[in-house]
Structure 1
Amino acid sequence: MRASLRLAMVALAFACGTGAAHAQQHPQAEAQALDLLKRGIAFRTVAGPGNQTPAYAAFLKQTLVAGGFAEGDVEIVPVGDTAYLVARYRGTGKAKGGAKPLLISGHMDVVEAKPADWTRDPFTAVIENGFIYGRGAADMKYDLSTMVATLIDLKRTGFRPARDIVLLLSGDEETAMKTTALMADRFPDAELLLNVDGGGGALDAAGKPTYFGIDGAEKTYADFELTVTNPGGHSSAPRRDNAIYTLAHALTRIEAHAFPGQINEITRGSWEAEAAKAEPARAAMIRRFLANPNDAEALAALRAEPSLVGQTGTTCVATMINGGHATNALPQRATANINCRIFPGTPVEEVRQTLATAAAEPTLTLRTLDSGSVASPASPLRPDLIAAVTDAIHARFPGVAVVPGMSTGASDSMWFRAKGVPSYGVSPMFTTPGESFAHGLNEKSPLSEIAPSITYYRSVLTALTR
């Protein structure tokens, strides 16, 4: 973990690289990005009473208009206690192969943070030892601020894209995702979408870059509720058909069920990159899995590793149980929640039926809960997207592997992929894994990433809007 100013400066040295790279920095945009980030953290954009997401959206609109966007090209749409923002950077309409817009997505909301639990006030930006601390410092007001500053900098320098660039900022990505669904409905006819809340690079403990990932797919989130009911009775007269026991037996059978191994174009690329740097025994198991996704020995070995199991296919796990109504009564009801992360292309209903079959309990009901998620296919590995990102990354870190990946979590991208818009997580931030504490206590990000992020965004946006 980079916990000192010295190591932060190491990362900054990597960011600057050669004199040519240093000359491409944009000090005005960098200063604005930091100001936006500090001021953005102060908005408590948390779902529920006192949600300041609409106020944060108003602040961003004011900033974009002051930076050269037409008033009518920046729209805030209220949705319940939150809102979403749409900002259109108008192009010439002369893009090669057509002028469909390029979408950029991110979110303004953050997860809850209790000040009493934090070392510092989560809604006051604090800069220490080369890091900025605060809720949203990593997820995701950092990338949001650098992207907004980049778009304003492009306006300032007179850049005219050949296609429209449309910035879409959702207001409830961390909860119901209603705003994202509405935006995806509005913009189904786009060239592609760049999600700055996904992807990114990894540094080792010495600050050396190891790889850069592009999120080209994500698993479908689904919750299933298992329920067993029973007439119950007095606990002094136990019966064999006990609701809690029946549920427990069904859960044990579900635990034993093995979903098949699955691979797509995105995960094949990430597995190949993993094999290239793995020690021989691990690399051999990965290559066996690539040759045959249902090689039992290889699948078991990979699924034994928490960092790899999510990439092997659909996973389901019990996460909550509830049963009984009194300490001296036989249970009349017992329920359990099964949380699944479903491999792209696998229907949710198919997984529900698989779980029902695995449970092998006719008295059990199994229903799909409304999780605010939607199934989405993997996006194709577009040569133009890969080239644009690779060029931008290699301008900073020559030769670093650029690897496609599948997210096991959920992001705004899934709503656009479900509408047929190829979507990619392309955040330029390089961090040491585990250092940011996103969603956790004392969330932070290194300030050394601001300058290279703006250079990267300028490079990628200009390449994809010719």
Structure 2
Amino acid sequence: MKTKLFAGLAAAALLASTFCATGALAEPPKVDPALHDQALELLKKGISFRTVIPGDQVPVYAAYLKSALVKAGFKPDEVAIEPVAGSAVLIARYAGTNPSLKPILVIDHMDVVEAKPADWTRDPFTPVVENGYVFGRGAIDDKFDVSMIVTVLSKLKREGWKPQRGVILALSGDEETQMQTARHLAGELKGVEMVLNGDAGGGEVSEDGKPVIYTLQAAEKTYADFEITVTDPGGHSSRPGKTNAIYRLGADLARLSAYQFPAMESEITMASFKAAAPSEPGPVGDALRRYVANPKDAEALATLSADRDMVGQLRTTCVATMIQGGHATNALPQRATASVNCRIFPGTPSEEVRKTLVKVIADPGATVKRENDGSIDAPASPLRPDVLAAVTKAVHARYPGLPVVPGMSAGATDSMFFRAQGVPAYGVGGAFMKSSDDFAHGLNERVPVDTIDGALFQWESVLKDLTK
């Protein structure tokens, strides 16, 4: 689930202030054209596998990736494919020279969200390279970074690279649905130093093609679905009484709509705000600067909370997304149900959120229960200096002086299962792209071809620095 972290807050003014001080932009690092072609071919071929869950193409895609790794020199028994929860996982091991050091775990996912060909301009599972983009479902979410990682590990294996710390590649197979494969991987691969996730983090490019900021994902809001249910004896619609399940549910949701969870902060969100505050324009910028100076500034919080790009960074949010009610047009409803989706600030237990919902709706006749959403409570990761240094070094080799800022994803990724076990995880995706090009989960998904070389360089640089 490729997610924007802090889009829109580091605007062109930040770009100007940064690059006026550092000089002209450097060209992104050059890579061997053959390596570029290999990565592009892996991406194109990957898109052609319809890895939608439910479905049977994830194991087939995993077998294709395994063949690429084995061709590069991995032994067949170093790359395992395991069936899990109606899908599959791939685990490839690159041994280190010092077995006393815990390995680095690189994760990503092979599955994609559904795409209906009738709705697309091009067939979503037929890769097309056109006008400088690769089009197709999964082009950016996330067969892009899967392809970059496999290409880089293949290159390193061919070259005989010998890291001190080993590397494990673990690809899940149902990240876009129930996330049971990631839960399985987290249980199987506990003894690792850290996690690097290609499915989060990344660079933003302005509409005129200049890089703006790179966000290193160090936290993510966890995901929880709750079901609010109201029941009533019902009866004939010609004999309405004082109670009505649909009306009661509507009143409950109205109270929920009026409620705002308390504002929260972390070192990660404050680092993001501080990076954006000096140059963010308009009322939001004024409020952001006041908030950074005083996080208790109620007026600043109100302004920021009214901004859709900001509210998710400030607090837990819960919103009704689906309703069901009644059983016949001529009968009083016996049951009315609403699904409420919550994005929970890291460190907040989901059960605490459920109890808050109970208090907010203040309806003793309603039940509030957690649905089987596959998510898990997880804290933020600490801002490790070695990770920040390695990522900054790689990004600055692509774009000298570009701000590298820790961020919190408003959406969830597989990283949460490792964070929940105390393993720090960081989103370090290699793509740089415009906000207007981001069609992840949407129609005509695409990724710029010209971001491939920089992503390959970045993954190799980060892996080499963190495995010394």
**1:232 is aligned to 2:234:** yes
Pick one of 365, 368, 374 that aligns with 2:367.
365
Q: Give 1:250 shift.
A: 1.1
| SS at 2:150 equivalent | helix
TM-score with structure 1 setting the length:
0.93
Alpha-carbon distance in 1 for matches of 2:218, 2:349: 19
Unaligned runs of 5+ in 1: 1-15
Alpha-carbon distance in 1 for matches of 2:85, 2:401: 47
- Residue 430 of structure 1 aligns with an amino acid whose one-letter code is F
Corresponding residue of 2:46: 40
| SS at 2:68 equivalent | helix
**1:25 is aligned to 2:27:** no
**1:68 is aligned to 2:73:** yes
TM-score with structure 2 setting the length:
0.92
Q: Give 1:373 shift.
A: 0.2
Give yes or no for contact 1:26–1:454 (8 Å, CA) kept in 2. no
Alpha-carbon distance in 1 for matches of 2:358, 2:159: 59
Corresponding residue of 2:397: 395
- Residue 32 of structure 1 aligns with an amino acid whose one-letter code is Q
Q: Give 1:190 shift.
A: 1.0
CA RMSD in angstroms comes to 1.5
Q: Give 1:280 shift.
A: 5.8
Give yes or no for contact 2:85–2:181 (8 Å, CA) kept in 1. no
Give yes or no for contact 1:260–1:293 (8 Å, CA) kept in 2. no
Alpha-carbon distance in 2 for matches of 1:232, 1:303: 40
Could you say if the C-alpha distance between residues 18 and 399 of structure 1 is closer, same or farther in structure 2, counting changes exceeding 3 Å? closer
| SS at 2:203 equivalent | strand
- Give the alignment of 1:129-278 within 5 angstroms: 129-278=131-280
Give yes or no for contact 1:260–1:294 (8 Å, CA) kept in 2. no
Give yes or no for contact 2:224–2:373 (8 Å, CA) kept in 1. yes
Q: Give 1:111 shift.
A: 0.8
Give yes or no for contact 1:140–1:197 (8 Å, CA) kept in 2. yes
Q: Give 1:290 shift.
A: 3.4
- Residue 447 of structure 1 aligns with an amino acid whose one-letter code is V
- Residue 44 of structure 1 aligns with an amino acid whose one-letter code is R
* Over 6 Å off, 4+ runs: none
Corresponding residue of 1:296: 298
Corresponding residue of 1:59: 64
Pick one of 346, 353, 356 that aligns with 2:355.
353
Alpha-carbon distance in 2 for matches of 1:25, 1:461: 16
- Residue 265 of structure 1 aligns with an amino acid whose one-letter code is E
Alpha-carbon distance in 2 for matches of 1:244, 1:295: 39
Alpha-carbon distance in 1 for matches of 2:315, 2:354: 15
Give yes or no for contact 1:30–1:146 (8 Å, CA) kept in 2. no
Alpha-carbon distance in 2 for matches of 1:246, 1:113: 37
Alpha-carbon distance in 1 for matches of 2:239, 2:461: 74
Corresponding residue of 2:116: 114
Residues 349-408 of structure 1: per-residue CA shift (max 9 Å, x gap)? 111111110111111111111110001110011000000000000011111100111001
% identical aligned pairs: 55
| SS at 1:311 equivalent | helix
Alpha-carbon distance in 2 for matches of 1:449, 1:157: 23
Alpha-carbon distance in 2 for matches of 1:280, 1:431: 25
| SS at 1:340 equivalent | strand
Q: Give 1:266 shift.
A: 0.8
| SS at 2:437 equivalent | coil
Corresponding residue of 1:376: 378
Alpha-carbon distance in 2 for matches of 1:242, 1:154: 66
- Residue 30 of structure 1 aligns with an amino acid whose one-letter code is H
Alpha-carbon distance in 1 for matches of 2:92, 2:185: 12
Alpha-carbon distance in 2 for matches of 1:103, 1:91: 12
Alpha-carbon distance in 2 for matches of 1:386, 1:148: 23
Number of matched residues? 445
Residues 233-267 of structure 1: per-residue CA shift (max 9 Å, x gap)? 11112111111111111111111112110000111
Corresponding residue of 2:331: 329
Q: Give 1:26 shift.
A: 2.7
| SS at 1:216 equivalent | strand
Choose 322-331 or 104-113, whichever is displaced more: 322-331
Alpha-carbon distance in 1 for matches of 2:53, 2:417: 20
Alpha-carbon distance in 1 for matches of 2:332, 2:379: 46
Give yes or no for contact 2:106–2:168 (8 Å, CA) kept in 1. yes
